[in-house]
Structure 1
Amino acid sequence: MTQTSSNAAEATSRTDTVAPGTHTVRRASTEIDIDASASEASSGEDAEKKAIEARTEEEIQREHLSVIAALAREPDAKREDLARVAGNAHDVTAAKEDETTISQLLSAFGIGNKNKPKPNPEDIATQPSVYDDPNLSKFFTPTKGYENLHRFDPSFTWTKGEESRLIKRLDWRITAWACLAFFALDLGRGNLSQANTDNFIPDLGMRRNDYNLGNTIYQVSFLLAEIPSQMISKRLGADRWIPFIMIAWSIVSGAQFFLSGRTSFLVTRCLLGLLQGGFIPEAVLYLTYFFKTAELPLRLAIFWAMRRVADIVAPLLALGLLQMRGVLGYEGWRWLFLMEGIIMLIIGIYSACTMVASATQTKNKFLRPNGWFNEQEEKVLVMRVLRDDPSKGDLHNRQPVTPKMLLKALSDWHMWPLYVCGLIWEMPAGPPDQYFTLILTDLGFDTNESNLLSIPPQVGAILSMFFFTYISIVLSRKAFVAVWTQIWMLPCLVALATLPTGANPWSKFAILTVLLSFPSPHPVHVGWCSQNSNSVRTRAISACVYNMMTQLGRVIYSNIYREDDEPEYRRGNRTLVAICSMNICIYALISLFYTLVNRHRSRKWDAMTKEEQLEYMSRADGKALGNKRLDFRFAW
């Protein structure tokens, strides 16, 4: 019997004799709590602590590995515990790390438990992982082409203080850049809404159905560009491709100054869709290179909050820029496109100067001759991510996704329910959001009032998104939280569909404001896709396919409000009520689907002996790779 098997048996015997209470193992001041309970007497805890502190480092490591192996034998072991044995280390500490992540956010605003003791920055932060077991570690070693392989060191440890400081630096350099870039994206794709308040459609001799067609062409182009753009990005590197497309779309956006009619409008819509289509999945994948699974939802919430920030800033910019109507004989909306195009161009050039390929590739001969991090810091950044999710070492960051890999990722039917989420979630609020400024104009509000009144829903949406993202992290129930978006929207849609003709404009504005303040589940969905992918290959493609489905949903809802249904859009609102009701049922079915898959796998896994489980893990790099592993559990 191997040392691991011996230790496992030893740990199992030890675990079986422990009375219900707390069984704690410490490794270099780090606690691993198994079936925690407050019922154990404090004297017992003190005795255990003294005994543990007296052990040698080698004994601590042996016991740590013993408990990991013993968990596989527990028939009622929690999903998180089995995930640790399976190598999905990010699931093990997710709850604690989620709490830490949210605490950091709340403390930034001066909110939180003032009496809670602060963590000791000298405590070891190294996360338990398959890399602690020499028998399993070799099966999770990164590929030879992995860009950070020279900093891979399974025995390397670091403190909480070191990791916390590095996370803050990553947020300033990576998260802040991602937010600024997303602001540029949404500024470019949302300025059409402000242009509508300045007589844009009549000035070009168009009708509202032409406007709908332009939106449809944009969404289709955006959708078609997703996977090709992602594959180019994987080949060239996100640090090269993203700045290029940003600069390109800013030029096209600014060129809308010269629009002359329906044809030029449709052409620029197509070009903008093709250039902007790949940005979101590329940026999301880029963030996964630097952050752990538990850290990602909060960053994604901030990332998507920039869409709302852009929707707040854009009307304020429009207030000034649209006043330029008549300058040099041009309409105000032309100056709006030109000036915002210049802003986006500056952000694109900044992105070209600031983006890096990876945590170990930050040096630039002219801009960053010394790089961002030293060797010690690079090791921390590499190992913290790999210990959280070993699958992130499967591909090089400039390794292309081959057609075979693409087909395999697309045929992963376990991900399809999440793609359905991408298709449906925004449909109920999409048409009212798209037509919001036009509806306000129809209600009698002037240009300035319409732009200012479009701000409150954006503020509400930011607050609700952060709150519900927080709830999803605390509960670890993605579908349960996401369905509340639909429950939020349903009564508002019913009100819009039944509101009497000629009702008070402020009443309709209030209903629309509540509706458009809905908590976007986008960060939850994208983090859900990343977590359930369990491989870089699937993660890269799933981000694209999910976003493609989101764009497809926008193509569909862009044609729900029709010219022959204005200004009340009764037929359209009844359609949205039906879609919203259907979505609630779909989320329930998705939750049931993943629950049944997990139960089926658990039955098979629990029927195996400890030796069979360890042997399975040793050959899990073949047929069971990624989320097809028998010991992988889907988040739901």
Structure 2
Amino acid sequence: MSEGILDEKYIGEQVTSSPPSEPDHGIVKDWDEEESAVRRKVDFILIPILAVAFFALQMDRGNISAVLTSTITKDLNITTNQINIGSQLLSAGIVLSEIPSNIIMQRIGPRIWLSGQLFAWGLVATFQAFVSSFPAYLVTRILLGFCEGGFIPCALYYLSTWYKKDETSLRTSLFFYGQMFASATSSLISAGLLKLNGACGMEGWRWIFLVEGLITLFIGIVFTLLVPPSAGDGRPLIAGGRWSYFTERESHIIRNRVLLDDPRKATGHIQITGKDIWQTLKQGRIMQHVFLTLVSMTAFQGITQYTPSMIKALGFDAVKANALTSVPVYCSMVWLVILSYACDKTKHRGPFVLLAITWNVISYACLRTSNPHASQWHRYGVIAIANISYCSMHILNVGWLSFYCRTPQERSVAMALVVMAANCAGIAGSQIFRTSDAPKYLHGLTASVSIAGVSWVLCLALGAQYYFRREKAVATDDEAKN
């Protein structure tokens, strides 16, 4: 047995005090080698569809960093501090709609709800191109938040119904690849769109909002037509009931292998009540995960929103600055898949969350203390290194929390809470980098290093708690046997 302080490999249901599992409904495992092939088929069908939808969400949520390198502040006669207010309102809208969104999704099903969200925020994102005043900008940002709220936890819950618990970390990370790919690729798209500045009488930032919003609407159509309705049911809307992604045998394996792993998933659509929400909020373990995301993402949100501006301040033009912003995010995709694969293989999650946060603490400190007289490319390299870990600590923390959720209701509410925390972090993180601190942002970077350090301590404490609970459970089990 590993003696590492963050070892939760042997933490089971007895540690989290979950109720006993329901009967397995007489399911008999009548497959063996077929399971791997079926799981791979689910991976290749389901994850790309969900990841593309996440791509659209992050593209419309995160393109404000590219817009900041254009002339939006001049055209709307506002400051970057006022831009930050819009970012805060977007995050506030998401926070307020997270749990209601989950409740609605459970009632009407993921295909209808997730598709509707895509079209709703796609329309708002598109019409951002036509705002002409500060109040109009604020209205579109909060509406965008309301429409996007709940999409991530709803999609994560839907994803979890297709997989066994020990398969979730890697698949959660692959789902978040949509967000990461959007952060990197939308920077390149935005760099190209900025070259349209002045075309048809529209500024570059308006072209970014317009084209990327239209891309989201197209993705919404594709998503609606292709997403399977539920675990084991492979009949997409485009099929009109005539064909399915899976054979009857494959559908049988998909449903039953998950039920054997967690019989509670047999409930299908669930009803989330006020009592379910309160029971989840009362659990200190879940709230520690939520607080960990809140703190760690606050530092991340501030740095990433202003990364293109910091690169531009090195002497690059707006187009090149946005293109260079994409490089570390592509690198972070490799970093994340390595950590996620290690999580599922070792069945340890805490140590890898801590490792991701450690990278942030060290790299943010290096960015804060970097030599201002160094060469342009040296300083860019330091900024790139500080962005390589990206939000991997949050993504891995989501998988860590999901693994120990005891019921479908708890998992749905817990996922909403942790994503709410990430967006609350956006509210705080949007105010770390201030106009008066530009272009070096020394005060903002000092705050980011400090906040990342606090998140490191929180992660260590949470991992230690899991360790001691495991030790107590093992000792109790030994006493019972004796």
The TM-score normalised by the length of structure 2 is 0.91
Match of 1:378 in 2: 251
Structure (1 or 2) with the greater helix fraction = 2
- Equivalent position to 2:84, from 206, 212, 216: 212
Question: 2:66·2:187 contact (CA, 8 Å) conserved in 1?
Answer: yes
- Equivalent position to 1:491, from 362, 372, 380: 362
Matched, 1:388 2:261: yes
Question: 2:350·2:459 contact (CA, 8 Å) conserved in 1?
Answer: yes
- Partner Cα separation in structure 1 for residue 478 and residue 199 of structure 2: 75
Unaligned runs of 5+ in 2: 2-6
Match of 1:625 in 2: none
Question: 1:223·1:277 contact (CA, 8 Å) conserved in 2?
Answer: yes
- Equivalent position to 2:462, from 586, 590, 599: 590
How far does the alpha carbon of each residue in 1:435-486 deviate from its partner, in whole angstroms, 9 at most, with x for none? 0111122222112211221121112211111122233334433221111222
Q: 1:597 to 1:373 in 2, by over 3 A?
A: same
- Partner Cα separation in structure 2 for residue 577 and residue 195 of structure 1: 26
Match of 2:407 in 1: 535
Matched, 1:518 2:389: yes
- Larger deviation, residues 381-390 vs 597-606: 597-606
- Equivalent position to 2:104, from 219, 228, 232: 232
How far does the alpha carbon of each residue in 1:140-172 deviate from its partner, in whole angstroms, 9 at most, with x for none? 237xxxxxxxxx641241131x22232222122
Question: 2:296·2:451 contact (CA, 8 Å) conserved in 1?
Answer: no
Question: 1:432·1:512 contact (CA, 8 Å) conserved in 2?
Answer: no
Q: Percent identity?
A: 27
Match of 1:324 in 2: 196
- Partner Cα separation in structure 2 for residue 403 and residue 471 of structure 1: 37
How far does the alpha carbon of each residue in 1:563-591 deviate from its partner, in whole angstroms, 9 at most, with x for none? 22222122222222222222222211111
- Larger deviation, residues 465-474 vs 331-340: 465-474
> Structure 2 counterpart of 1:276, which letter?
E
> Structure 2 counterpart of 1:314, which letter?
S
- Partner Cα separation in structure 2 for residue 496 and residue 316 of structure 1: 23
- Residue correspondence of structure 1 range 56-455 to structure 2 within 5 A: 140-141=22-23, 153-160=26-33, 162-363=34-235, 367-393=240-266, 395-397=267-269, 399-455=270-326
> Structure 1 counterpart of 2:312, which letter?
T
Match of 1:615 in 2: none
SS in 2 for 1:512: helix
CA radius of gyration, larger in: 1
Alignment: residue pair count: 472
Question: 1:246·1:348 contact (CA, 8 Å) conserved in 2?
Answer: yes
| Residue 312 of structure 1: how far off its partner (Å) | 2.4
Question: 2:168·2:403 contact (CA, 8 Å) conserved in 1?
Answer: no
Question: 2:229·2:236 contact (CA, 8 Å) conserved in 1?
Answer: no
- Partner Cα separation in structure 2 for residue 470 and residue 288 of structure 1: 17
User: RMSD in angstroms over aligned alpha carbons?
Assistant: 2.5
The TM-score normalised by the length of structure 1 is 0.70
Q: 1:450 to 1:294 in 2, by over 3 A?
A: same
SS in 2 for 1:324: coil
How far does the alpha carbon of each residue in 1:187-237 deviate from its partner, in whole angstroms, 9 at most, with x for none? 111222222222122111110110111111111111111111111111111
Question: 2:295·2:425 contact (CA, 8 Å) conserved in 1?
Answer: yes
- Partner Cα separation in structure 2 for residue 472 and residue 81 of structure 1: 14
> Structure 1 counterpart of 2:22, which letter?
F
How far does the alpha carbon of each residue in 1:269-319 deviate from its partner, in whole angstroms, 9 at most, with x for none? 101111112111011111111111222212222211222211222122223
| Residue 360 of structure 1: how far off its partner (Å) | 4.2
- Partner Cα separation in structure 2 for residue 266 and residue 546 of structure 1: 25
Q: 1:82 to 1:208 in 2, by over 3 A?
A: closer
Match of 1:57 in 2: none
Question: 1:465·1:521 contact (CA, 8 Å) conserved in 2?
Answer: no
Q: 1 or 2 for the larger relative contact order (CA 8 Å, sep ≥6)?
A: 2
